Chain A
Amino acid sequence: MISTIALLLCGPAAFLATAILAGTVGRRASATRLVYGAALAISIALLVIVAGHLAGSPGAVSTITLPLGLPWTGARFRLDSLSAFFLVVVNLGGTVTSLYALGYGRHELQPHRVLPFYPAFLAGMNLVVLADDAFSFLLSWEFMSLASWALVMAHHRDEANRRAGYIYLVMASFGTLALLLAFGLLAGPAGNYAFDAMRAAEPGPLAAGAVLALMLLGAGSKAGLVPLHAWLPLAHPAAPSHVSALMSGIMTKVAIYGFIRVVFDLLGAPAWWSGVVVLLIGGLTAVLGILHALMEKDLKRLLAYSTIENIGVVFVSLGLALAFKANAMPSAAALAFTAALFHVLNHSFFKSLLFFGAGAVLTATGERDMERLGGLIHRMPLTSFVFLVGCVSISALPPFNGFASEWLAFQAILQSPDLPQWGLKVIVPAVGGMLALAAALAAACFVKAFGITFLGRARSTVVEEAHEVDRWSLAAMAVLAVLCLLAGILPGFVIDSLSPVTLTLIGDRMPVQTADPWLSIVPIAESRSSYNGLLVFVFITISASLAAFVIHRFASHALRRGPAWGCGFADAAPAAQYTAVSFAQPIRRVFGSFAFRARETVEMPAPGALEPARLKLDMHDVAWETFYQPISGAIDYATERLNHLQFLTIRRYLTLVFLYLVILLLVLALWP
C-alpha cells in the first residue's frame, strides 16, 4: 500500500516532467494545449488525492523521507491537516488556472517563454507546502520564486517588466535570506534541520522574537506586507494574466503557509506582544494596500494592490489568533484562526477570478489602462457578469464569500475584551476600525474597477472591437464565481472542514456549524451573534423577484429608450465621463495627504490669457521613498566607493589577502 504522501509527491514530479517536456517541444503549435492540459490533469489528480485523504481521516499525518538533500536529515515530506488545506488551495488554483490558460494561453506570442516555467511554478508551490525540513522547504521556496521570476520576465522586451523582474529577484533573495536565518535560529546550535526536531525544541524568548521578526520579513515580503510590498504591484501584473492569478491568488497563500507553519507550529507557545506586532502590521497593510489600489488606473496593478489589502486582513486574523493563543483562550483563537484560513481560501477564489477577468479584458482590447476602457458590459456580457461577482465578493458584501470570512474576523475582534493585557485591549478595537475602513475602501475600489472598466461609454476605439473571450476562459471564471457564491451561502461547511487544522495548531475548534438549523453559522452562541448567508440570499432573491413580479403585473411595464439626460449640458464626448483618477479624487482628498503626501495645485493662466488652467497632482509612494530609496542609495554609494578595488595591481591584491588572513587569525586567537 503506497502512502498518501508518496502519491502526492508524484504530482510535483509529474509537473517537473511536464516542464522538461515543455522545454523541448515548447515552440510547437500544439504545446500550449498539451502543457496546460497536463497541468490541469495533474492538479485535478492532486485535488482528488487530498480530497480522499480529507474524507477518510482528515487529522492523519503521513510522512516520507527521501535520500536526497542534507545527508544527515534527508529530504523529508509530510502531509498533515495544515498542508492538506493549503494543498487544496494550491491545486484548486492550479486547476482553474490551467483551465483558463487552455484558452488564454493561445494568445501568447512567445509560448516557449511561459510553458516550461508554468508547471515548474506549480511544482514548487506544492513542494513548499509538503516540505518537512528546512532544507527542502528553502529549496522548494527558491524554486517557486525563480520559476515565478522567469514567468514575470516572459515579456522581457518591455522595460517596465525588466525592472519589475529585477526588483522581484532582489526582494525574493532578501526574503529567502531572512527565512534561512529564521531556520538557523530554530535549528539551534545542534543544527537539526528537520521540522520535527524544531517542533520539539523550545527556543528562548529572544530567539523566538527574532524568529518572528525574520518570518515577518521573509514570508511577509513574499506575501506583500507593508512596507515589504514594493515588488508585488510591479511583478504580479507583469506576468501573463493566468500567472498573475497564480502569483496573487496562490503564491501569496503559500507565503502565509510558511508563516503559519513556523509561527504557529514550530515556534511553540507565542508571547502576547507577538500578537500586537502582527495585528498592527496587518491593519496597516490592509489600509495602505487598498488606498494604493484606489489610486491606481491600471487594472492589473489595482488587483495586485488589493491583494496586499487582503493579506493584511489575513494577518490581522492571524495576529488575533496569536494573541488569544498566548492568553490561553483556545476557542477565541480557533475562531480567529478559522477566519484567517477562510479568508485565505476566499481570496484565492476571487482574486484568481478577477485576474482572469482582467486577462479577458486584456485579450479583447489589448488594454490594461482603465482610462481607455469603458462600456465593456455591452461587448463582453458574460465576462462582465462573472467579474461583477468577483467584485462583490472581494468587497465583503453579503451574501458572497468575502463577507463570511470578514464577519468571522469581526466576531473574533469582539472577543478582545477578555484579553488581560492593556496593550491588546486598546489596539484590537482600533485595528477593528482599520479593518472596517479597509472593507469600506475595498467596496469603493471595486465600484471604481468595475464602473470604469465595464460601465459607462467606451473611452477608446479598442472597446468597439472587443469580443467575448473563449469558452475555456469563461468556464474557468464561471467555476470560480460559483465557488464564491457557494462559500458565501454555505460557510458552515467550510468552517467545519477547517476544524482539523485548528485542532492541530490551536488545540481547539469552532463549534460544529453544519448541525445548526437552517445552516446558519454561530461562532459562540446564537443569542450572541449568528449569520445565515443562505437565508439572506434566499430572502433577497425572493423579495427582488416579488417586487419585479408585482410591478410588472400590476403597474406599468412600458419602456422607452432615449438619450441620457445631461441636465441641459449635452456632453457628447465619452472623454467627459468620470475617469478612474477623478473617481478616486474625493477619497484622495480625505486620505491622500498622509498616505501619499498628495498635493494638488491649480495653475491659473493670467487674466485674458487663452491657455487652459491646469490641475497638477503630486503624489509619493511613501514606503518606496522612506525605505527603499535610502537603502539603494547607500548601496550605490558603497559600490561606487569600492569600485576602484577592481583595478588594483597584483601586489596590492596580495597585500589585501595577507592583511585579511592576519585579521582572521587575530580574531580567532582573541575569540574567547
Chain B
Amino acid sequence: MAVIFELAVQGAQMLLVLLLAPLLIGFVRKVKARLVRRQGPSLIQPYRDLIRLMRKEVVLADNASWLFRVTPYLIFAATWVAAALVPTFAAGLQFSWTADLIVIVALLGSARFFQALAGMDVGTSFGGIGASREVMIASLAEPAMLLIVFSLALVAGATQLSTVAAFMSSSEVGLRVSLGMSLIALVMVAIAENARIPVDNPATHLELTMVHEAMILEYSGRHLAMIELATFLKLLLYVSLISCVFLPWGLASVGAGPEALAFGAAAYLGKLAVLAVLLAVFETAVAKMRVFRVPDFLGAALMLALLGTLLLFVSRSL
C-alpha cells in the first residue's frame, strides 16, 4: 500500500512538472510584458501554442535523416526524466535515488548533444552556427555546474538532491559565503543553459547572435512542440533546482503524509512565482550580450564556483 502511495506521489511529480512548465513560461512572459506596460498574452498561451503546433503537419527538409525525426522525442524524454528527478514539493521520492545531481546535469547534456546534432543534420549554416555556439556555451557552463555541485556536496556531504535539500533546511547550515557564491554561479549557469537574456534571446528568430533558436530553425509541427516543451521543462528544472537547494522550506520530507505534501505543493508554487518574477525583472533590466562576451560571463560563474569550493576548504579546516 505504501509503495503504491509512493509511486502515485512520484507519478504526480512527473505530471506536475509536465503541466506546470508551460504555465511558468506563460507567467514569465506575462510579467515581462506588464513590466514594459504591454498587455501581454494570456497565461495559458504556451499551452495553446503547443496544441496548435501538435495539430499542424510537419514540414521536413528534403535531406533530413532519421536522426532529425527521432531527436525531438529523445530531447523531450531526457529533459522530462531529469526534471522529474529534481525534488519539487517533496524530497526522497520513490525513484529519487536513480540519479544524483551530477546525473541530472549529464542528462541535460545528453539532450543538448542530440539537439546540436539535429541542428547540423539538414546542412544549413543556421543549424551549424547554433550548434557550434551551443557547444561553446556548454563547454563552459558544465564545468561551472560541476564545481557548484562540488561545493554543495562539500557542505551537505552528498550529491543526492533529497539529502542536500534536507540538509539545507536543517539548522546546521548557517550563513556561508561559499553558498552565496554558489547561488550566484548557479543562477548565471541557469541563465546560460536556458538561453535567456543576456546570453541568448528566447523571443527572437533570425538574429546573428542567436544560439538556441538557430538550432531548431528547421523544426516544425509536432517536432517543434516536443522541443518547445523540453525547453519549458528545462527552465522549470533549473527554477526547481534553485528553490530545492537554496529555498528548501516547506519541502515535504521522506514518507510525509498528504497534508505535508499539499503544503509542500503550495510552497513550491509560491517559490516558482517569486523566482519567475525575479527572472522577468532581471531580463527586462539587462541587455543582451555579444556572443563572445558569454565566455567571460560563464568564466565568472566558473571562478565564483571554484572560489566557493576553495573557501569551503579554508573555513572547514579553521
Q: Which of A378, A529, A547 contacts B76 (CB 8 A)?
A: A547
Q: In the complex, A520 Cα to B98 Cα: how many Å?
A: 7
Chain A 546-586 interface mask (CB, 8 Å, partner B; 1/0): 01100100011111111111110001001011100011111
Q: Could you list some 24 contacts between A and B, CB below 8 A? A: A374-B123, A397-B113, A398-B107, A410-B102, A429-B309, A435-B146, A436-B142, A436-B146, A440-B139, A440-B142, A443-B112, A451-B116, A451-B121, A451-B131, A456-B120, A528-B157, A541-B77, A555-B225, A561-B60, A565-B218, A566-B124, A578-B120, A582-B132, A590-B136
- B158 near A436 with CB under 8 A, answer no
Report how many A-B pairs have Cβ atoms within 8 Å: 273
**Which residues of B are found within 8 Å of A540, using beta-carbon distances?**
74, 77-78, 81
- A544 near B76 with CB under 8 A, answer yes
- Cβ of B259 under 8 Å from chain A: no
- B122 near A536 with CB under 8 A, answer no
Q: In the complex, A442 Cα to B92 Cα: how many Å?
A: 33
- A429 near B150 with CB under 8 A, answer yes
**Which residues of B are found within 8 Å of A413, using beta-carbon distances?**
150
**Which residues of B are found within 8 Å of A455, using beta-carbon distances?**
65, 67, 117, 120-121, 123
**Which residues of A are found within 8 Å of B77, using beta-carbon distances?**
539-541, 543-544, 547
- B99 near A447 with CB under 8 A, answer no
Q: In the complex, A555 Cα to B73 Cα: how many Å?
A: 14
- A536 near B107 with CB under 8 A, answer yes
- B143 near A436 with CB under 8 A, answer yes
- A578 near B129 with CB under 8 A, answer yes
Q: Which of B97, B124, B131, B142 contacts A447 (CB 8 A)?
A: B131
- Cβ of A632 under 8 Å from chain B: no
- A527 near B163 with CB under 8 A, answer yes
- B97 near A526 with CB under 8 A, answer yes
- Cβ of A364 under 8 Å from chain B: no
Binds B, one of A128-136, A231-239, A388-396, A502-510: A388-396
- A439 near B123 with CB under 8 A, answer no
Q: In the complex, A543 Cα to B136 Cα: how many Å?
A: 29
Q: In the complex, A407 Cα to B65 Cα: how many Å?
A: 32
- Cβ of A433 under 8 Å from chain B: yes
CB distance from B84 to the nearest CB of A (A): 8
- B302 near A531 with CB under 8 A, answer no
Q: In the complex, A559 Cα to B69 Cα: how many Å?
A: 11
**Which residues of B are found within 8 Å of A543, using beta-carbon distances?**
76-77, 80-81
Q: Which of A532, A583, A584, A590 contacts B97 (CB 8 A)?
A: A532
Shortest Cβ distance from A439 into B: residue: B142
Shortest Cβ distance from A534 into B: residue: B98
CB distance from B1 to the nearest CB of A (A): 19
CB distance from A212 to the nearest CB of B (A): 26
Q: In the complex, A557 Cα to B77 Cα: how many Å?
A: 19
User: Which chain B residues in 95-112 approach chain A with CB under 8 Å?
Assistant: 95, 97-100, 102-103, 106-107, 109-110, 112
User: Which chain B residues in 290-311 approach chain A with CB under 8 Å?
Assistant: 291-292, 295, 302, 306, 309-310
**Which residues of B are found within 8 Å of A398, using beta-carbon distances?**
99, 103, 106-107, 110
- Number of chain B residues whose Cβ lies closer than 8 Å to a Cβ of chain A: 86
**Which residues of B are found within 8 Å of A446, using beta-carbon distances?**
113
Chain B 307-318 interface mask (CB, 8 Å, partner A; 1/0): 001101100110
- Cβ of A656 under 8 Å from chain B: no
CB distance from B244 to the nearest CB of A (A): 16
Q: In the complex, A440 Cα to B110 Cα: how many Å?
A: 11
- Cβ of B125 under 8 Å from chain A: yes
Besides the known contacts A444-B139, A456-B121, 13 further A-B residue pairs in the complex with CB atoms under 8 A apart: A378-B63, A396-B106, A440-B143, A443-B109, A443-B113, A443-B135, A455-B67, A455-B117, A540-B77, A551-B226, A565-B61, A577-B123, A577-B125
- A583 near B132 with CB under 8 A, answer yes
CB distance from A551 to the nearest CB of B (A): 5
**Which residues of B are found within 8 Å of A530, using beta-carbon distances?**
97-100, 160
User: Which chain A residues in 408-447 approach chain B with CB under 8 Å?
Assistant: 410-411, 413-414, 417, 425-426, 429-430, 432-437, 439-441, 443-444, 446-447
- Cβ of A54 under 8 Å from chain B: no
Interface, chain B (partner A; CB < 8 A): 54-63, 65-67, 73-74, 76-78, 80-81, 95, 97-100, 102-103, 106-107, 109-110, 112-113, 116-117, 120-129, 131-133, 135-136, 138-143, 145-147, 150, 153-154, 157-160, 162-163, 206, 217-218, 221-222, 225-226, 291-292, 295, 302, 306, 309-310, 312-313, 316-317
Shortest Cβ distance from B137 into A: residue: A586
Interface, chain A (partner B; CB < 8 A): 374-375, 377-378, 381, 388, 392, 395-398, 403, 407, 410-411, 413-414, 417, 425-426, 429-430, 432-437, 439-441, 443-444, 446-448, 450-452, 455-457, 520, 526-532, 535-536, 539-541, 543-545, 547-548, 551, 555-567, 571, 574, 576-578, 582-587, 589-590
- B125 near A426 with CB under 8 A, answer no
CB distance from A521 to the nearest CB of B (A): 11
- Which 8 residue pairs of A and B lie closest in terms of their CB atoms, listed nearest first? A578-B128, A456-B123, A558-B57, A444-B135, A451-B120, A544-B77, A436-B146, A586-B136
Q: In the complex, A105 Cα to B301 Cα: how many Å?
A: 51
Shortest Cβ distance from B67 into A: residue: A377
- B135 near A565 with CB under 8 A, answer no
Q: In the complex, A106 Cα to B213 Cα: how many Å?
A: 46
Q: In the complex, A530 Cα to B100 Cα: how many Å?
A: 6
Shortest Cβ distance from A546 into B: residue: B77
- B157 near A578 with CB under 8 A, answer no
**Which residues of B are found within 8 Å of A447, using beta-carbon distances?**
113, 116-117, 120, 131, 135
- A528 near B160 with CB under 8 A, answer yes
Q: Which of B54, B112, B153, B154 contacts A551 (CB 8 A)?
A: B54
CB distance from A79 to the nearest CB of B (A): 36
Q: Which of B74, B120, B313 contacts A417 (CB 8 A)?
A: B313
Q: In the complex, A520 Cα to B100 Cα: how many Å?
A: 12
- B62 near A551 with CB under 8 A, answer no
- A527 near B158 with CB under 8 A, answer yes
**Which residues of A are found within 8 Å of B121, using beta-carbon distances?**
377, 451, 455-456
- B110 near A556 with CB under 8 A, answer no
Shortest Cβ distance from B103 into A: residue: A531
Q: Which of B63, B102, B106, B309 contacts A397 (CB 8 A)?
A: B106
**Which residues of A are found within 8 Å of B110, using beta-carbon distances?**
392, 397-398
Shortest Cβ distance from B163 into A: residue: A527
- A407 near B102 with CB under 8 A, answer yes
**Which residues of B are found within 8 Å of A377, using beta-carbon distances?**
65-67, 121
Shortest Cβ distance from B130 into A: residue: A578
Q: In the complex, A15 Cα to B146 Cα: how many Å?
A: 46
**Which residues of B are found within 8 Å of A437, using beta-carbon distances?**
139-140, 142-143
- A564 near B132 with CB under 8 A, answer no
Given contacts A433-B306, A443-B109, whether A556 and B226 have CB atoms under 8 Å apart is no
CB distance from B128 to the nearest CB of A (A): 3
Shortest Cβ distance from A516 into B: residue: B97
Q: In the complex, A439 Cα to B77 Cα: how many Å?
A: 22
